[in-house]
Structure formats: structure tokens, C-alpha cells
Amino acid sequence: MAQVSLRKVIKKYDEVLAVRGVDLDIADKEFIVLVGPSGCGKSTTLRMIAGLEEISGGDIAIGGDVVNDVPPKDRDIAMVFQNYALYPHMNVYENMSFGLKLKKTPKQEIDQRVRAAAGILDITELLDRKPKQLSGGQRQRVAMGRAIVRDPKVFLFDEPLSNLDAKLRVQMRTEIKKVHQKVRTTTVYVTHDQVEAMTLADRVVVMNAGLIEQVGTPNDLYHSPATKFVAGFIGSPAMNFIPCQLEQAAGALRVRLSDKLSFPVPDGRTARYTSNVGKPNLILGLRPEHIAETRPHIEPNQHDFDQVIEVVEPMGMETLVYFTLAGAEVCGRVNPNAGATAERSMKLRADLSNMHLIDDTTGKVL
Amino acid sequence: MADIVASSAAARASGRTSLHKVMQRKSTIAFLMALPLILMIFILVAYPAGYAIWLSMLNKSMTKFVGFGNFDFLFKRATFWEIVLQSCIFAITAVIFKAIIGFVVAHFVNNIPTKGQRKWRGMLLVPWVIPAAMSTLSWLWLFDPSYSAFNWIFVHLGLPKISWLGEAGWARFSVILVNVWIGAPFFLIMYLAALKSVPEQLYEAASIDGATWWQRIWFVTLPMMRNIIAITILFSTIVTFANFDIVRVLTAGGPLTATHVFATWAFKVGIESGDIPLGATVSLFMVPILAVAATFILRDISKRGSEV
């Protein structure tokens, strides 16, 4: 087990910069998830940690040792691939023991470790099967087994759940978390699925266009995103971005969305926002759950407004309502019994205590 | 009487419908569609093979049935056993070298960036594409003892001239060399295709598992290519074993009988010496030897066929 650190890591393909200087410190036993849209450099970063891609600049250290020029086989890492990459001609036992066999581990110890790992993953009865005879979920377990058996310093996961169906994905997600709680190996996990990132990670690293946008715990990222990108990427349905103006009127700070609609800024945030009064390109960020139906009891910073609903999407436990505000499509989450109907006006309530003010020129959350 | 008429009419009617049913069946349609091929195989393979078996049981003037007389005669001749041995040495050595060279070169070509690869692939296929009899002729000149390029180089290096096709050992070497030169590109192209079909991630997984490049070839490449290797070796063994043109053009079986293989000796005995039944008998001996090899290799393939 070990910590991993990346210092100004760069990856260049010909003239294209895929990773543009990544700095990251991963603590021992930590579960880090790299998340971002496709092409953001997250897989490349993982493959550089694995040694499958050469780094064009910077340093990567595993357990304190710089491994820039160390081949993958000597880095003491294990990797789970998206398509599992099990050796088709070997059975499960041979697949799992392959790494140990190459290291000339005594047969008895191999057997012991393979059976222990198979026990953790509940695949003991599959040990004699060939990968072709296994289902997707079982192959995924074997691929994880192959990693666990080696007892490496670091586990690397490259979108391991992308090839599974939705139900199995949720199941295996829990499985991966359980395994990590048992073996406590430093883990770097790459995914494009923000739900996976939020549920699995100790800390999430959001990447965009070859750079780290923000590093933080899932709750940090959700409640205090640093940039517009992170605010929009984390959370589903995504955060609403409504163009707005910040105005000072009668000693109070107000967010103006349209001629008719403006909300007072919560007291706690006035000081933070005052300097931005009159700034162009401001955006109000408000998550769908903070736009709900009106209720009799009103809390501080909540404000009712009337709105014609355009689209209604019943989800069962909640209903999503869509409407246009200041030219932006906005989503709200209302109670299924609130009587939301398309093309009818409805009284909604915005909870400004969870608002974000974003400067669209810099992309930073103010 | 009326009964009989009625029942026969019914029988006719049901006969027609059952014929109709038979024609409608999928297996019948499949058979009819395969019929042209079956006929072709019969005309081009089964009939000549049957005729060869029939010929092998006649006397030299093809007037008398002698049963296994020709076989009996061959078994007692030392030359025949020499031919058996030579054919085996020729085929096995040539196939082994073709496979090894094909495998190694396929790796090199596979590592060339895609842009330049086509050019190299094309060039490396040339020996296989030129008609063997023609390219063998140029080899014949290269092997010429007095005026050839090889001996010219040898002389300039201060080495003795070699009688490439005149000494038994060198003649065998030369014949195998030319066969390897012509046949290796076939292995190259098959192995190149097989190499490309091995998923890149298996190599990545293996290198993370701690495999060196040699271990990656041994534990990933070779097992993944096993079926292609087996099939190419089987195919090449059959073709090499039955080789005629190279030996015929290069040495015509000489010196004496030192480089004869089954096909050339069958030609020599059957056509040149005018004993067609004996020639047929010689050529028939290729069948059991190849059948045994084919059975083993194909059984191995079908046993593993289900795993990849």
C-alpha cells in the first residue's frame, strides 16, 4: 500500500496536449475517482500511472519513488480494464494466478491467495471455468480477483463498469466499495459516470480538457463546486444555469432574472457578492431540488414565484418540471402530488440558500 | 374396383404432396444448393483418386490386375524408403523454418507504423506471388557452381566454391531453402492477421501482471494464435509434402535420388520410366501420412475451438 503523487504531469500526442499539467496527491488507502467527459484526459492520466503511456513531462511517484521510467511490470500495480482483458485461453484460476506465477511465488502460496481472493469475491465455484463461460458481472469479478490476488501497492480501475447493464452496474458498484473496505488498497478509479464517482470516492477529481477542475469529497463538489463546469457536471439532473444580474436596491442585494422576477440574496452571502454588482455575464446556479412546489410553511431565503410549466416528467418518487426562465431551460423537482400540469401555471418556490453565483467569463463560482 | 381406383388416386395425390414436402424441406434445399460443389469434388477429387487406386493395382503395361503387387514391390526397395525419409525431412524442416521466419517477420511488420506497413507487406509477399517454377529458375542460376552470385561472393571472401546442387547434402539444403523462401510469406500474412486480432489490452494486462516481452509472446501471443498456427502448419505441410515444381526445376531429384520427394519420384517412375501403375502407387503413399497429421492437428483445433 502506498501514496501516489502526480507533479505537473503532461501528456502530449504529437502536437496535441491530452493532459496539461496535473498535480494530485493521493493518500495511502484512499479511494480516488477521476471523473470527466470523454476526452478530458482521465484515462490517459490513469494509464500514465500504470506505465502504459509514457509521460511527456512531470513526475509520477508511487510510494515515494519516482516511477517515470519504470515499466508497468515493476510498478507493483494492478489494473482492471473496461473490457476485463481476461486471458481467454486460461481458466479463472490461471487468470488470477498469472501474475503470481510470473513472480515465481510458491505454488502453495498462490493457491492460498487465489482462494482467499475468490472467497472475497464469491467466485470460488467459477475457478475452473474459462472466461467465455462467464457472464459480464462474473468476468468483472474475476478481473478484480486478478488484481486483489497480487496485493499490489495501487489498484487502477479504467471504467470497469461501463460494459455492464444498469442493474448489474449498481450491484458491482457496491461490490467494489465493499472490496475496498476489506482490502484497503490505494485505488484510482476512472469513470465518466458522476454517480459512480460520488458513490465510490473518498475524494473525487473532476477533470476537463486535460486539467483538474476541482478535487474534493463528493459532498464538497456537490455543495460547493469551484467552477461552472463542476457545478454542471456533478448532479443529475444537472444544475440550472440562469443568466442574471446582481443589483443593489434599497440597501439589499438582489439577483434579477427578468423584469418581473428577482430574488433577494441570502444575508450570509451579501458580503461575498457585493463586489460583483453590475458585472456582466453572471449566472445564477440553482439545483433542480431547490426549485420545488410551494408549501404553507416558508423558510428563510425561500421565495415563491408563478411559472408556466412546459414539460412534466413523472419519475415516481418525484416529478420533474421544465420551463424557460430568462432564456434558459430550467428544471425543478416537485412532489408527484403537487399537481404539475404541462402548459399550466404553477406556484413554485426557489430556495436561494443553496444558490451559486457564477462568473461566466471566467467560469469560476463566486 | 372403385375402391382400388380411389385408393390409387389418393396414393398418387399423397405421393405428390410428400414429394412436394421433401422438396420444401430445408435439408433438401441445402443439398440441392451444395450439389454443384459435390459434383465438382467428385469429378476433380474422388474420380482421380479412385482411378489412381485402380491404377496402382495393375501391372506395368496396365493389362493385368496384380492386387497389392506394386506395394509389395515398393516396400522391398531401398530407394522407396529413402524417398519416404527425404519427403519427411523436406516437409518438416521446410515447414518449421517457414513458420519460425513467418512468425518473426510478422512481428517486425506488425510493429511498423500502419502507414508504411502496406508497402512492406506487399514486398514481402512477392516470393509467394511469383509462380514457383519461374522463381526457382532464378535460384537455379544463383546456385550455378561456376558463374553464380553465391559462389562469386564465396570466392571473393576467400571461401571454397560450393557445389550447391551437386552434393547430396547441399542439394537438400538448397531445395529446402528455396521452398522456405517461397512459402514463408504465406505464414507471414496469416500470422500478421492473427497478431492484429489479439486485443491490445491483453498485452497491457500481461505487462501489468509482470510479464517480460518474451513472456507476453509465450503466454499471450502464442496461445491466442494457436489455431491459426495449427491450420497454417497443416496446410503448409500438405502442400510442401506434395511439392513438385521446386525439386523438379532445381535438381530433378538429383544428384542420383538424393533430393527426390514423393511427387517427383512418382513422376520419374510413372511418366519418365513409363510405369504408370508404380507411379500411382508411389503417389498414393502420401495419403496415409498426411491423413495422420491432419487428424491430429484438426482434432486439437476442434478440442480448443470453443474456448476463444
Average pLDDT, chain A: 89
- Nearest chain B Cα distance for residue A73, angstroms: 4
Q: What type of residue is A172?
A: M
Statement to judge: residues A88 and A36 lie in one domain:
yes
B169 reaches A (C-beta below 8 A): no
Q: Where residue B236 sits, what CATH number does that domain have?
A: 1.10.3720.10
Q: Which of B210, B212, B223 lies at the smallest CB-CB distance from A89? A: B223
State residue B305's pLDDT score: 59
Give the separation between CA B277 and CA B70, rounded to whole angstroms: 8
Percent of chain A surpassing pLDDT 70: 100
| Radius of gyration over every alpha carbon of chain B, rounded to an integer in angstroms | 27
Which residues are CB-neighbours of A239 under 8 A, at least 6 positions away? A225, A231, A232, A285, A286, A287, A288, A356
The CA distance from B184 to B99, in Å, is 7
Nearest alpha-carbon partner for A187 in A140, A153, A139, A212 = A153
C-alpha cell at B219: 503466454
Contacts of A79 in chain B (CB under 8 A): 204-205, 208
Q: Which domain does A92 fall in, by range?
A: 4-226
Domain-embedded: residue A232: no
Q: How far apart are CA A159 and CA A81, in angstroms?
A: 7
Statement to judge: residues A39 and A69 lie in one domain: yes
Domain tally for chain B?
2
Q: What integer pLDDT is reported at residue B98 of this predicted model? A: 94
B63 domain-assigned: no
CA distances from B221 to A89, A175, B255 (A): 11, 32, 42
> Both B177 and B123 in a single domain?
yes
pLDDT of residue B16: 62
Whether residue B161 lies inside any domain: the answer is yes
Residue B291 structural domain: 69-304
Residue A100 lies in a domain: yes
Separation between Cα atoms, residue B54 and residue B65, nearest integer Å = 9
Looking up residue A352, the CATH number of its domain turns out to be 2.40.50.140
Region at B58 (left for phi over 0; alpha for psi -120 to 50; beta for the rest) = beta
Q: Which of A176, A192, A226 is the last residue of a domain?
A: A226
Q: Are residues B33 and B130 in the same domain?
A: no
Residue at B166 is within a domain: yes
B50 and B74 fall within a common domain: no
Contact B208 A98 (CB under 8 A): no
Residue length, chain A?
A: 366
Task: Among A72, A130, A132, select the one facing B208 at the smallest CB separation.
Answer: A72
Q: Indicate yes or no: pTM above 0.80.
A: no
A85–B202 C-beta distance less than 8 A: yes
Whole-angstrom Cα distance, residue A253 to residue A188?
Answer: 43
Full pLDDT tens readout for chain B, 308 residues: 445 555 555 555 555 667 777 777 888 888 899 999 999 999 998 898 888 888 888 887 778 888 788 888 888 888 888 888 999 999 999 999 999 999 999 998 988 887 888 888 888 888 888 888 888 888 888 888 777 888 888 888 888 878 888 888 888 899 999 999 999 999 999 999 999 889 989 999 999 998 988 999 999 999 999 888 988 988 898 889 888 888 888 888 778 888 888 888 889 888 888 888 888 888 888 888 888 888 887 887 777 655 54
How far apart are the C-alpha atoms of B287 and B279, rounded to whole Å?
Answer: 14
Q: Does B33 touch chain A (CB under 8 A)?
A: no
Overall number of domains in chain A: 2
B72 touches chain A (CB under 8 A): no
Mutate to test the interface with A, among B115, B204, B209 (most CBs of A within 10 A): B209
Minimal C-alpha gap between A99 and chain B (Å) = 4
Within-domain flag for B62: no
In chain A, the residue whose alpha carbon lies closest to the alpha carbon of B199 is A85
φ, ψ dihedrals at A165, nearest 5°: -75, 165
Same domain for A252 and A191: no
**CA B190 – CA B185 distance, rounded (Å):** 9
Q: Is residue A105 part of a domain?
A: yes
For A83-101, what is each residue's pLDDT tens digit? 889 999 999 999 999 999 9
Same domain, B75 and B43: no
Whether B45 and B105 map to the same domain: the answer is: no
Orientation angle between helical segments B168-196 and B114-129, nearest 10 degrees:
140
Give SS3 for A217.
coil
In a domain, A182, yes or no: yes
Residue type at B153 in one-letter notation: I
Contacts of B206 in chain A (CB under 8 A): 87, 98
d(CA A62, CA A64): 5
The verdict on A338 and A195 lying in the same domain is no
Q: Quick check: A103 and B210 CB within 8 A? A: yes
Same domain, B172 and B210: yes
Our CA-based measurement puts residue A26 at a distance from the nearest CA of chain B, in whole angstroms, of 20
Q: Distance from B208 to chain A by nearest Cα, in Å?
A: 5
Enter the DSSP assignment of A234. Answer: S
Whether residue A339 is contained in a domain is answered as: yes
Same domain membership, residue B219 and residue B246: yes
* Dist. CA A117–CA A296, nearest whole Å: 56
- Whether A208 and A252 share a structural domain: no
A81 close to B (CB below 8 A): yes
Q: What is the pLDDT of residues A203-217, one digit of tens each?
A: 999 999 888 999 999
Query: What is the distance between the alpha carbons of residues A202 and A31, in angstroms, rounded to a whole number?
Result: 5
Q: Is residue A234 part of a domain?
A: no
User: Would you say residue A231 lies in a domain?
Assistant: no
ipTM here:
0.82
Task: For residues B7 and B74, state if they share a domain.
Answer: no
Residue whose cell numbers read 509389395:
B72
**pLDDT 10s digits, A266-285:** 888 888 888 888 888 889 99
* Exposure b/e, A185-220, CB count within 10 A at least 16 = b: bbbbbbbbbbebbbebbebbbbbbebbbbbbbebeb
Candidates B208, B224, B307; nearest CB to A77: B208
CA separation for the pair B179, A200 (Å, rounded): 61
Mutate which of B197, B204, B208 to test chain A, going by most A C-beta atoms within 10 A? B208
Whether residue B61 lies inside any domain: the answer is no
At which of A167, A194, A226 does a domain end? Answer: A226
**CA A95/CA A85 separation, integer angstroms:** 10
Determine the average pLDDT of the residues in A28-40: 91
Both B37 and B133 in a single domain? no
Count of CB atoms situated within 10 Å of the CB of B153: 10
Read off the CATH number of the domain in which A197 is found: 3.40.50.300
Task: Compute the distance between CA of residue A277 and CA of residue B43 in angstroms, rounded to an integer.
Answer: 95
B51 and B76 share a domain?
no
Q: Do B47 and B157 sit in the same domain of this protein?
A: no
Is A233 part of any domain? no
* Structural contact between residues A354 and A268, judged by C-beta atoms closer than 8 angstroms: no
Do A311 and A207 share a structural domain? no
Question: Are the C-beta atoms of residues A286 and A355 closer than 8 Å to each other?
Answer: yes
DSSP A75-139: S-EEEE-TT----TTS-HHHHHHHHHHHTT--HHHHHHHHHHHHHHHT-GGGTTS-GGGS-HHHH
Shared domain for B39 and B152, answered yes or no, is no
Grid coordinates representing A162 are 461501463
Best A82, A89, A100 residue to mutate vs chain B (most B CBs within 10 Å): A89
Q: Is residue B25 part of a domain?
A: yes
Residue pLDDT, tens place only, A226-250: 999 999 998 888 999 999 988 887 7
Whether residue B189 lies inside any domain: the answer is yes
Out of A226, A248, A282, a domain closes at: A226
Task: For residue B218, count other CB atoms closer than 10 A to its CB.
Answer: 12
Backbone angles phi, psi at A105, to 5 degrees: -70, 140
**Arithmetic mean of pLDDT, A189-216:** 91
**Cα end-to-end span (Å), chain B:** 68
Element (H, E) at A45: helix A42-50
A93 phi and psi, to 5 degrees? -60, -45
- Residue A148 Rama label (left phi>0; alpha psi -120 to 50; beta): alpha
